[in-house]
Each structure stands twice: as C-alpha cells, then as structure tokens.
Structure 1
C-alpha cells in the first residue's frame, strides 16, 4: 500500500480503496492573497485569465504542498453564462451577484444552455485554463475543477426570494431550472474531463437543509443528482455547506464518489451514516480554524479529522483569501505527522 502518487492516492480514496495515508488537499477554493502577491496572479483578473488562473491554482500545490490543483476560485461561471450579472470583486473579495434573469416564473421560459457551450466566454476560459494547468503540472498530481450544481443554478437564476418562495408555491418551476442545470453540469463536466480534469466538484449548498427543506431535497434535488452522476464521465464529488446532517442518507445514495462536508456536520456521525458508500472529505473549518487559529491548533483539528474517519483531509469549505500560507502548510504537515505518530 505504499509508494502511491498523489493522483493514485486521491483516486483510490474516492473509489474506496486502501491507501497508505489519506490525501490532503482542497476540493474547494484555494486562492489566497499571499499566493497572489507571490505569483503576481491576482483576483479579480485571475478569475477571467486562463494563464493567471493556472498560475494561482498551481501555487496551492507547488508553494503550499496541497496534493491537488483545484480551479477556479469562484462559483460564477455557469450562472454568468446563463444570464446572471456579477461584480468582479477585488483581491480579497470574490465576485458577487448584482442581478438575476428570472424575476418571475414566465422568465424561466427564456433560459437555455448555449448551443456551443465550449465557445461561451466563461466556459472557454475554464477549458483553456485546464489545458494550461495540464501542460504545467506532473501527471502525478490530480486536477480538480469546481462548478455549482442544479439547486445552486436555480438559486442564482431566480434570486434568493423567488427560490425560497417557489420551493413551496411553484416547485415545478424550480424543478425545470434544476433539470436544465443538470444538463448544463453534465455537458460542462464532460468538456472538462476531455481536457484532462480528474475530478469535478459539484457545489450545491443551496440544496442543503440551511435553505432547502429536506423532504424537497429528496423530491426535487436527489433525482437530479442521480441523472447528473450517471452522465458525468469522470470522478465526481458533491460539496454542501452548512449542516448537512438531515440529508446525509440521500447524499450517500446520490452516486457521488466523494462527499465534501463542512465542520457544522459532525464527521463521526457522518461516517456512521455514509459508511463505505462514499469518501468523506473535509472538514477543518476554513474561517474558525485555518484563518484564525494557531498552527498547533490547526494540526490538532486536522489530525482529529483523520482519527474520525475522513477519507480525504481538506478544508470544510473554500479557504478564506486572507489565510496565511503558514497555516495551510501546517494543515498539510499535520497529515504526515499523524502517520508518523501512529
């Protein structure tokens, strides 16, 4: 069980196979200001320039030691392609939404996937970035791409108020948006897989219990996940922020190989529910721990995650832009120290 490359270890973990040690990486956002200053690849330009996106993404591996390269740094690619409008953000602020196209249910009729998705502006940038990264990193390092999922797409397109209202009053409208979102994610994921991406992370926090009633998750979202995972031609991970406890059963049966959870979902309990159905990923807090605590406390919490049965050690959500490089290095070092101490 020894001598695995980072990619072999990552993929074996997703597939539920034995590894010499759990991988340590981030399946969520990795762009931090120190890396931007070091590389010259800064937000907001790095969201939209393939070369800068590649440079900043690779720095998470080459400078910090994360055992994967993950891109992009925002969740706006699909939403913008479908008509949402965003402010591009700043060096330490991600792009944020200014407007959405579905002001009323009649507007849903006007939303459609571009006929040539690979040539649409934001998707094309992502495909170009994937090619640049693949040319610059060893084939032994896994490449991870992220995108929002069906529920998040419906949320961005309809706006928060409509989303929360329609899930009760007009569930068929949300179902239509989610179904279109599923089709988009399948096509987009497979374009990325063709460019050499090893795993795609579907970020769908708007499907979680913090916003969406668990019975409606089962009724509206879970069928889309089954279609999505069946259509994706590569390794697939689901990330849901917040406390996902009430939908762990559904997540485990969704077809995703990896389930990324944040610290509000108890890892030991999640392991008891998920078992061997999927690889649990997480769940050290990016804000309360990685951003704010001492390196000693970061190591302690990371080691506890391994002890509690995590399959891939990772931040529970996107790394905060002002997180010190030294803190993430301590997080990475904790994995090796854990096995040396056994």
Structure 2
C-alpha cells in the first residue's frame, strides 16, 4: 500500500464500519511526535502544540516520512483539560505538556462547562490544524482527533486521588463531574468533525481497571460513554491504558467503532475476537515502552507479526510514543505489515 494510495480513507471508514480490510492499515491513534520527525519536518514542540500550521506540518510527517496511514492530532492529552481551567506545563521538545493545577479540587460542585468552551485554550488550534490537513491535496490519509476521556478530565479537574476517592465514597458527585466532562467531550468531538476529522479517539487512562476499578467503570463511566456516542456526529475510538481484559465486555457495549489497546492486555486474541463479534475494530498493540522505544527493527517486526496473527484491524503503537522512539522502528512496523502474508 503506497503512501499515495487514494483509497486509504475509504479503507479506514470500512474498518470503522465493521468491515474486514486486507491487509490491515498501519497508523497511530495515540500521541506520536518523535524527535526524528521534528528534525526532519522542521516543526517541533512545544510550538507545534499551539500553532496550527506547525501542528499540521509535524502531523503530516507521520505519513510522508514515517509512512503511517492513520495519523492523530493533537500531540498531547491536556487540550480539553486546559480549556476547562487547568493550568499546564507546556513541556519541551522531548517532554509533553502536563497538568499542573486542579482548579476544582476543593469544591467539585463549582465545576461547569464554559459556554464558550470551543474558544478557550488550544481547541481552536486543533480545529485549524485538522482543516489544514484535510485541505492538503497531497495528503490522502484519515485524521483522528484526540480528546481526553471523562475519567481523565475528572482527575485533572479534581486531582487523581480526590476523584478516585469520590468514586468510592460519593459516587453521585463523581457521576455529576463525569457527566459534565462528557458534555465537554461531545462539544469538542462535534467541532473536530466539522473541521474535517475522520474519527475521534477518547483517551482515558484513568478508566483502566488498575485505576478506577471495574465496578466504578461500569457504574460511573460506562453510561456516560454510551451517551457520548449517542450524541456525536461521526466514528469514535476508545483508548484505555493497561490490562483492560476485565472490562472488555462493558467497553464493547459503549458504542465505539473501534478500541485501541496496549501491550498489557492479557489476551489480545480474546479482545480481538470479542470485538469482532460485535463488529468493532481493534487497533494496536506494539509495545511503546519497550519494543518501539529501545529494541531493534527486527524486534518490531516480530511483535508486529504476532499482532497481525490475531487478526487486528489497524497495526499501531499500543500507547503514546516516547519522543526518543527511533524513526527506523516506526518504518519497521509498516514494513512488517507489507511483508506479512
């Protein structure tokens, strides 16, 4: 599949519609700006996190240089949190932006979604970058727009420990916070679709069973994820970090077109088979912390073949890429898909 294949976007839509595409696409729906691409493209963060032209330029290099067929912006998971009132550390070339304040830690009841949310922070930057990418006649690949999920946003606003404590001791308050966060997610998702995004991905690490726990996910998060999908105007993907096997049945009932999984799942074949039985695609799951980051291209190929053996739909990094991840390992991932029989 060449970098100029005009059918890539159609194949991506087919995958999210529950259709089988052979061979699978390669891409990323998690954060992905690596130092090698910054150097080659001439667009680096932190400027590329807040300038739409630079964001689009760096994002396009994921395809033109790294040969990925599905690309994602923005490059961090703080955009919506910042728009909701959190202060961020903008980071450096090799360090992603991070949340440094929790504005509603003392009184979560004070939190509400601003009526002018889409005008706050960097949301408009992401919207402009999406439009630039979609209007680039030489770039015929699908664009996935990333949004922090409701559990992550709740932890940003309240602090991770206070929020997790609320889910146990005052679940009704936790539900109200999550509901408002989903309102923000819906607004951002539909704005990104209007800008030209082919899909949105909710990245929600705090929803991991290792964090919030399966019971709280089922009772507090799941109903709001269902409502999210009932109110958006396009395809959606869910990415939850960690060992999600125990909540896979619940995830598959939330209405997402695809799920993105990382290497810590116990049984990828079980996840893929379960998802496919519900016409839901699976994306992943080459190790980012080990294989892509520090191992050799041959190691990447070996792990890619193992992923492809499970009938995965989009071969991708399992989670966000470390900035120091070598370009040669991303290229090896694509080469493995090309070589796979």
| CA displacement 1:185-208 (0-9 Å, x = unmatched) | 111100110111000000011111
Q: What SS does structure 2 have at the residue aligned with 1:91?
A: coil
Report the TM-score, using the length of structure 2 for normalisation: 0.95
CA distance in 1, matches of 2:295, 2:22: 29
TM norm structure 1: 0.95
| Corresponding position of 1:337 | 339
> Shift of residue 4 of structure 1?
7.1
Q: Which residue of 84, 87, 90 corresponds with 1:85?
A: 87
In the alignment, the residues of structure 2 paired with residue 57 and residue 4 of structure 1 have an alpha-carbon distance, to the nearest angstrom, of 18
* SS of the residue 1:173 aligns to: helix
Residue 269 (structure 1) aligns with: 270
Q: Match of 1:60?
A: 62
SS in 2 for 1:314: strand
Partner of 1:206: 206
Residues 155-180 of structure 1: per-residue CA shift (max 9 Å, x gap): 11111110221111111121111100
How far apart are 1:139 and its partner, in Å?
Answer: 6.5
Aligned residues: 335
Q: Could you report, residue by residue, the CA deviation over 1:226-253 in whole angstroms, capped at 9, with x for unpaired residues? A: 1001111111000000110110000111
Contact 1:16–1:276 (CA under 8 A) maintained in structure 2: no
* Correspondences of 1:1-342 after superposition (within 5 Å): 5-104=7-106, 107-138=107-138, 140-265=140-265, 266-277=267-278, 278-338=280-340, 342=341
Alpha-carbon RMSD across the aligned residues, in angstroms, is: 1.4
Instruction: Give structure 2 stretches of 5+ with no counterpart.
Output: none
Gaps of 5+ in 1: none
* Cα displacement (A) at 1:135: 1.8
SS in 2 for 1:236: strand
How far apart in 1 are the matches of 2:137 and 2:163?
Answer: 40
Render the CA deviation track for 1:296-319: whole Å, top value 9, x for unaligned: 110111111011121111110011
**CA deviation digits over 1:119-142, x for unaligned, max 9?**
223111111111111122546310
CA contact (8 A) 1:153 1:177 kept: no
- Distance, in Å, in 2 between the alignment partners of 1:282 and 1:179 is 28
Question: Structure 1 pair 97/118, CA: closer, same or farther in 2 (3 Å)?
Answer: closer
Do 2:84 and 2:117's aligned partners in 1 also have CA atoms closer than 8 Å?
no
Checking the alignment, whether the CA contact within 8 Å between 1:267 and 1:309 is kept in structure 2 is no
